[in-house]
Chain A
Amino acid sequence: MLLNQFLLLAAVLFCIGVYGVVSRRNGVLVLMSIELILNSVNINLVAFSAMTGAVSGQVFALFVIAVAAAEVGVGLAIVLAIFRNYRSVDLDDVDLMKG
């Protein structure tokens, strides 16, 4: 197996996630797209770990999983707070600091 096939798969998933972050209006769906991005980073880390034979990549993938869990917890709490104040999770409504 080539290293590049995993890296290109991760790149495709990353770009799909970026598209989701840019184009979605629902806060929960934006968080899901961020999960896609973090997941593609994990694929890269594990692929390089398999390439070099060192376990550091796998350790960092574990760290990324833990950070993703924390991020989803805080992110969904923020989305819930937005929903309570605006009665919607449409991110276009949240323009209080827009100049």
Chain B
Amino acid sequence: MSGLLLAATQNADAPVYVAQNIAFGIIAAMMIFSAVRVVITDNVVHAAVYLVMVLAGAAAQFILLGAEFIAITQVLIYVGAIVVLFLFGIMLTKAPMSGTEKLSRDNWILGSLTSLVLLALLGYALIDGFGRDKLPADLAPTNTRAVSDSIFSTYLVPFEIISLLLLAALIGAIVIARRD
């Protein structure tokens, strides 16, 4: 968190994009708070709602990065479809609506230690590797046509494989979940 704030305030020798940096800071703080609430809250439905906030914040960051098509896809698929799927999963598994059943393990200290060590390693590697690299000054929105051209020419085969994967996942989910 302090590293983020440090990174957001330290580009003194370049044109400072105050508005973008403030927007980034607010959205990033909201995302981190919501993500922490997702993993520590005692209410499963609250966790799903906080997950919506994280995913919407990620869409906002994509817009800040000039990737408007990814942002729209993020809202459509993640917020629109995946969270609804999660809510159905919560409903069908009759998860407790209040903190009557334990949702977390007792050894949360070990888990937080693991993730903090991982965060320290990642943070060190990132600051060491990309210390002051700046994004291009003119982050114009990417042409959606360029993205689609790339999908349907360079990445045509992976795109077809993704569609096969979705079909297989659809059939597999039906086969696994049906009662017979």
Contact = CB atoms under 8 A, between A and B. Distances in A.
Interface of A: 1-9, 11-20, 22-29, 31-33, 35-36, 39, 42-43, 46-47, 49-51, 53, 55-56, 58-59, 61-63, 65-74, 76-81, 83-84, 89-90, 92
Nearest to A38: B78
Interface centre among A1, A8, A12 (most CB of B within 10 A): A1
A36 B47 CA distance: 12
A56 B88 CA distance: 34
A42 B74 contact: yes
16 contacts: A1-B139, A5-B28, A11-B126, A12-B119, A13-B32, A28-B95, A46-B61, A46-B62, A51-B135, A51-B136, A59-B154, A63-B162, A72-B86, A74-B176, A80-B89, A89-B93
A76 B172 CA distance: 11
B97 interface: no
A32 B48 contact: yes
Nearest to B11: A2
B147 A59 contact: yes
Given A26-B95, A29-B47, 19 more contacts: A2-B8, A2-B132, A3-B135, A5-B7, A5-B8, A7-B130, A18-B114, A20-B38, A24-B103, A29-B103, A39-B54, A43-B61, A46-B67, A55-B150, A58-B147, A62-B70, A62-B151, A72-B82, A76-B86
B4 interface: yes
A23 B112 contact: yes
A27 to B, nearest CB: 7
B61 A16 contact: no
B112 A3 contact: no
Nearest to A28: B89
Give the interface SS of chain A, mostly helix, strand, loop or mixed.
helix
B104 interface: yes
A19 B112 contact: yes
B135 A50 contact: yes
A31 to B, nearest CB: 7
Contacts of A83: 92-94
Nearest to A78: B176
B28 A9 contact: yes
Nearest to A50: B65
A15 B39 contact: no
B135 A2 contact: yes
Which residue of A20, A53, A68, A78 has the most chain B CB atoms within 10 A of its CB atom? A20
